[in-house]
Amino acid sequence: MNLTLDHPLLQVVGQARTAGALSAAIDVNAPDLAPLAAMGGTDLRGQAKLRTDLSMPQGAAGPAQLALDGTLAITGGLQQAVDLVGPDGRLSLRAHMTQDTATGATSATRHVTIQSLTFDGRKVHLTDDGTLVLGPGAPVVDDHATLSLPDLAAASTAVHGHAALELHASGPTDDLAADLHLDSVVGTPSVADGPLTLKVSAAHLPSRPQATLIASGILDRAPFDAALGVVQDADGARHLSIDRLSWNSLSGNGALVLPAGKVVPLGTLDLKIARLADFSRLAGQTLSGTLTAAVRTQEATPQTPAVVSIDLHGALGAPQARIRSLALTGHVSDPTGTPNLDLALKTDGLAVGTMAAGRASVTTRGTLAALAVQASADMTQLAGAPGNLRTDLTLDLPGHTVAIRTLSALAKGESIRLLAPATIAFGGQMGVDHLRATLGPVNVPPASIDIAGTVKPTLALTAHIGNLTPAIGKPFAPDLDAVGTIALNAQLAGTLAQPKGKADLVATGLRMRTGNAASIPPANIRATADLAGTSATVDARVDAGPKVGL
């Protein structure tokens, strides 16, 4: 029997003998990988060829044989594939299968042997050999695989060096044992090459995993040592132990237990970094400061929920930001049910870009449906001038509302102050009930803001802004020397896409006090806009003395 398939993307030629012992030979050619790769959303160019030879004896006279040989040329597209595989990738597989029928055909056991599986590319080499026994019970494997990457930069330009991985797995697939060994020399453009070794030993996979992980070597010219253990007991609880974690000034340890059916582990976790500067070359930027963190979890009882306690202290210096001191303390009760927070964040000497703060603090107390938040900050520099913030509010995250009891802020000489409590809705429904505030430079009569109503899904909003003067713009335009007042009123309906209603603007006595425009008489402006969904009618009048009228 002959088989031929001729397509611009794929050509297949095969011959098979079906009389007596079965045999087949199939050649597959993909002359252009780009269209095939595009189907999977990948940019890949090149060619592939594959030759498969299969023979199966009649009955159980001998083993079934499989031979596969192929070439893979990656000439463009995904750079990692080009660098790893290159134009001369080669694949080879030799395998056979025998059948043991000593106990009868209904309980025949098949033995699959991978004599050799290899793939060799420009900078990647893979080998595998092993056996698979398919019988009445769970399949039993005994497999040995290696992966070699002689140039890690081919996989990622962020690292360089080389790595060799060896994996051995054996046993039934429902009670598997595996050993993994990684030998490598790894560095980055800013970190010197150093040897790193990883050993993982696991047993009783996947039902009751027990595993140990040991990593050691030299990282950025300093010894690195870590040892972790994972065990799942008969009750399904998973135990994680950090026995050792040491590198430069980094140290850590912990013991956590995750009971079956739970999502919050119980136990302790401690981490300390005495010098963040140790991480400068790893991070690719200059760092300074310290960090200590401790997490404690307390198991729930019939009377009390589980509690997670947090205690974090430190200081940070980086090119983008600086914090002279940082403290996050408190606890979260019932974190997987109805979380109840009692957390406090305090910072001193915070500097981000051109902003510099003396002290800042945020406290949160309550559930997510009634989370009381108090925040304050005193900034020595905010947009070139001192600034501050004080607010007291309650968040209802499930209900998508925030009730602001008090709010005052100062930025670049502009002061905003909430005159009465207001509730703001966000999310699918947006609106405010009822915002009354003042805005203006210090020691200048402020503008008044009064807004109430909804913005979406329907627009039903009334807004009034009164006593708006040019003084509001002076902190941002120091040369501006003008007087006058502006008032805005709006009553809106419809939707944001098709607003309806009316908006009025009244400006009185607008004039410049300096410059060439100072000779122009004060201007009075009255404008009205009638909104009708997709259209608007605007009526405006401008008067500036007896000789100017529009």
Give the Cα separation of 216 and 247 in Å (integer). 10
In a domain, 185, yes or no: no
Q: What is the pLDDT of residue 102?
A: 56
Host domain of residue 115:
1-147
Q: What is the pLDDT of residue 550?
A: 61
Q: What is the pLDDT of residue 104?
A: 47
E strand or H helix that includes residue 83:
helix 79-84
In a domain, 212, yes or no: no
How many domains does the chain fold into?
Answer: 2
Tell me which of 87, 120, 147 is where a domain ends. Answer: 147
- Cα-based distances in Å from 27 to 4, 11, 45, 52, 321: 10, 8, 20, 6, 61
Residue with tokens 């611009």: 8
E strand or H helix that includes residue 148:
strand 140-149
In a domain, 522, yes or no: yes
In a domain, 83, yes or no: yes
Give the Cα separation of 522 and 517 in Å (integer). 10
Q: What is the pLDDT of residue 389?
A: 94
DSSP letter (8 states) at residue 281: H
Please provide the DSSP assignment of 457-508 as one string: SS-EEEEEEEEE-GGGGTTT-TT--EEEEEEEEEEEEE-SSSEEEEEEEEEE
In a domain, 388, yes or no: no
Q: Do 286 and 278 contact (CB within 8 A), yes or no?
A: no
Give the 3-state secondary structure of residue 53.
strand
E strand or H helix that includes residue 81:
helix 79-84
pLDDT in tens, the chain (550 residues): 888 999 999 999 999 888 778 889 999 999 999 999 999 899 999 999 999 999 988 765 678 999 999 999 999 999 999 999 999 999 999 999 988 765 444 567 889 999 999 999 999 999 999 999 998 888 999 999 999 999 999 999 999 999 999 999 999 999 999 999 999 999 998 899 999 999 999 999 998 999 999 999 999 999 999 999 999 998 889 999 999 999 999 999 999 998 888 777 889 999 999 999 999 999 889 999 999 999 999 888 888 888 999 999 999 999 988 999 999 999 999 988 899 999 999 999 988 877 787 889 999 999 999 999 999 999 888 877 888 999 999 999 999 999 999 999 998 888 999 999 999 999 889 999 999 999 988 888 899 999 999 999 999 999 999 999 988 887 777 888 888 999 999 999 999 999 999 999 999 998 888 877 777 788 899 999 999 988 999 998 988 766 665 6
Burial of residue 444 (number of CB atoms within 10 Å: 0-12, 13-18, 19+): middle
Give the Cα separation of 372 and 365 in Å (integer). 5
E strand or H helix that includes residue 200:
strand 191-205
In a domain, 227, yes or no: no
Q: Do 46 and 72 contact (CB within 8 A), yes or no?
A: yes
In a domain, 261, yes or no: no
Tell me which of 85, 114, 147 is where a domain ends. Answer: 147
Side-chain half-sphere of 476: how many Cα atoms within 13 Å?
6
Q: Which long-range contacts (CB under 8 A, 24 or more apart) does 147-154 make?
A: 148/124, 149/84, 149/123, 149/124, 150/123, 150/125, 151/83, 151/123, 152/184, 152/186, 153/83, 154/80, 154/83, 154/84, 154/122, 154/123, 154/124
Give the Cα separation of 161 and 204 in Å (integer). 34
Tell me which of 147, 175, 200 is where a domain ends. Answer: 147
* Paired strand residues for 538: 529
Side-chain half-sphere of 329: how many Cα atoms within 13 Å?
7
> Hey, how many other C-beta atoms are within 10 angstroms of the C-beta on 260?
10
In a domain, 30, yes or no: yes
Give the Cα separation of 390 and 372 in Å (integer). 14
**What is this structure's pTM?**
0.76
